[in-house]
Structure 1
């Protein structure tokens, strides 16, 4: 009986556990909707395996020993914060596999942060490159995070990794540097899988919408939160690939191609700075650093926090380039200045000596001109500056200047070594330049693809590519984001110049004489077409050279042009010839189709002229025969005494037809025009009626040889009309 009761009790507990398990499974399933192929995760890129040449190494600790250097307590107190800033009440919520320490590989410096803390929605050990999968995923059971929920709206929060601690600043500004990375890039941009993170700070003087009146300082300069949907280049929504997904904030995006030895994630941001001003020194503030998957538990994301970058600006060492505060400087770029500031606990009426030490991997006298020494802030001045230069030396990677001072902390009696790290970067380099010649002989289909890079440095340059044509006219400007090539497409054949600049340094690269050529094109000509009438019979097109090409256009079929099909108006006829090398040449001309034309008949008009018999007479006569013209037709006029209507009064060759005879008499000498009109057609001949020269006679006497003989006379007659009559 006891056994039976015990069995039933066990069954009851078993059923309860199973119900909880099933409930949890159903909950997890509800938070992991099947979208596209997101269930098929951790799919490796072909031929890519993990290696020791990756840019970062990651370690984590899943035990409970708070003195372990990899425990989250030590990661914050010993690795993240620096200077006089104090941290306490350090807590972590999530699986301990989701937090760890990263260090840059000295043999592969292709990551901009040297070391720090990494938090992930998956296992931080998976952050190590090379990028071997587009869908790296590790799922845990934890869900919900109230502040992150406010950032994603109605989408569920899953696998949160949340680090919280209190801190006491010794100045009014707190800042730290970080990188956000994700495998959601690029195929899940513009989707509900908008993995999210935030840096929430609360305390005196802060009034925001988050827990304890906190504010999120993980923001872009325009105030928008840092997220997948707010920063991407060439992104798309794999569930809706036809939907628009325009690039946004590309200047902050760095692509991580498959096989890249930097990190596992497909994309990341440039190094960003979280900063808040207006804090009350020596007061206690709370910081929450949180990251989570949105909508499901697949496709991990991570945030990398730079070691020693969580600082309060009570330690007043600042560096300037071009009068802008920055800790990234560049060989040969000036002006640069190191400036020391008073703290609030010094007497401004007296000079202040600050002894400083210059350390770091950069060599004084080689990479820079700074040396250790004493800076004196004059009385009644708040700061003093030391200018320095950065010679152009060999491209040997990023070097550091570490400036250290021993300073009393504002909020307690201790002194601390306060330091600032200044990074000296090489000029950027042109990593690749590819020119694709035009594939067509007559159209501009060439392209230029260029990609600049940091070279041996580990700085996230943001490049702008300006392309100019051979006349120095700007063709296009592209700012594609880090590790993303600039692609200039559909370029005509010709010469180009490429100028590459970046967003912060003084350097630029100019690449001249970039030539886009094309295969040798055939020279194709087309003789001009004569105008035709709409009722002109279809005819074969000719005039294209070289022979053997193809004619095309409206009304053209198999090289035959049909004016009736084309219709009245102008029609472009194209002649296309394909050479043996596959190149195509074209020429075109316009053929004009006129309204229908019905030609006039061509009658034969002949005539006979009876000249005037005597000069000045009026007995001339014209007889005209019209044949080949069907009656009726109009005799429009028969003009007498008109001026010549043609140069030589010749009559064109005419054809025979039906006879028609017309006569005119009593004509004086002159030119006469005979005109016949039928159906709008006119026929006209010019006929000359002549007259003889004036009648003249002369007598030449022939005397008698002897008296009694008869003499004679010879009469010479000219002009007039023969025969002559003598009396």
Structure 2
């Protein structure tokens, strides 16, 4: 609960009467009171604070449109303050469950508001104005603007409000030269529906968001809402109105809000209590449960917090008086030992605790009126500072809480839910012996166990309860060896340690299902067979039910037997060759030759990628496992050398020669291949054509090993020869020189 500070030249004695009047309430978190305070009280007792003097308070509008609100919710950070509305102020109370909260108040408008919405006019205006004298060079207060015109009437209707301030040094366009200090932060733009919004959802292109960082959406009355405290569809974040002023001069402020265009869809402005400030000397706050409040429950503790203001001289003691009145009685309704009322020099804050007694008597609401007074000097005058307010003390029953479950039995590891019922449904803290802090907890017990819970209410009352959970247990199995290997014909045993509530019965199961007559914690398998390879488990049953052990796995293996023998290998040097073996069961392998164990040869195959002559010899393989071994037949790996093949030089031939037999390969009996060579080892120059050609001689030895040799043969082209005509000669003529053949250099032969 914030306290509101009165500055006056004489001590003012103020009397509070607590009367239950019409108050609207929403889930106990936001309330509006329109009848308990006059406009003057709202300004002087609730709004202004510090070394601020307010006077000449005037209000124009419906008295249903102005009121005092208190808030313990999270929608806005103000705990209390003044509300001005274009409709009924009590309609601000949430949740937001109406699309168009509206009230026609039959009130006129305001000229300054009209100038903001020109050419439209305003109506249903609520106007609160007063004079004030600041004690420093600045003045400020915090506020929130809210409206049901959000969001569907953004850019259409435009309810408006303004804080119009006038006085020394101020020259503006409103009445009396006032300026509007309700502005978008950092701008001269007035705060309104159309200047702070998230756009119109019906047309965000024509009406896009504006200054959306200052806007909070609260649904539309039919859509999910953001909070439960306020009825309005949208509102601004907490904003600050401020202005530089001249200290100790008289100023005037008009706080006004009105409907524009029509009286439909209400809007409101909420002013934080105690935020209208301009320097301060001393303040006082009452807190309970860590929050400011004017309400407290019996059995709770509270603190009066006295604090220096900015104008207080920290170097000297600050003395004050505190007196109580009301119908609450010290020692009956509260416990209080008056201390020395002084904030020592150098300290800024003094806390004085007070306890409210839980008497168990239904007596209605008690009131404790407190009055703090101190004489000191503000910057503008010497004044008596008086702070007075009322604490309302509400009846509270003693805390009752108990575990709903009675002492019970469970079967471990089953669990049971323990929960608590109390005569209070909220504000409880739980501390279970399990360490849980929830209102309920799942528990299990291996043995009889007592579970405790301690329940504490908001005022620190504590109740403890307990319940005994007795424990039976399912049959529980434990084994240290769940996987074993055995050889065909061996004997082995499977053992489980068995615990659980007796009597219990046991039954073994194996690969073939239930094992008859095996009803102990140990299973003995004699002369084990391959068919007994598989999974085994033990099943137990008792009063809690049936449970199964973990699965024990038995691997039964026989002595390996060779199923595929390796075979002899006859290979030539450089060939790829291999030996392969197979067994009827999983096994390991090791190959041997004339030299003994072959390192690294431990697979079911022995592969020679390019066999060498020295690999020739005897080979065998031993296949083995944990149960025994078997040896393959010994096989022979024969490695034959390659034949030595040579190829003598070949004679050149002409392109027009007849086919000729190719020869020169040693040893004889091989095959010649190449371009133009037929299957009878004859080469056809006309097929091979002009050029140098590769001829390959391949010879296969009697062992089947093959090698080759190669030579080149040249096929020359045939020259083009021409011979000119010769003259006739007589038989008896002398010898003549023959000529005319080209190219020159040839041989002339005459046939007779």
TM-score by length of 1: 0.40
| Greater share of residues in strand | 2
Larger radius of gyration between Structure 1 and Structure 2: 2
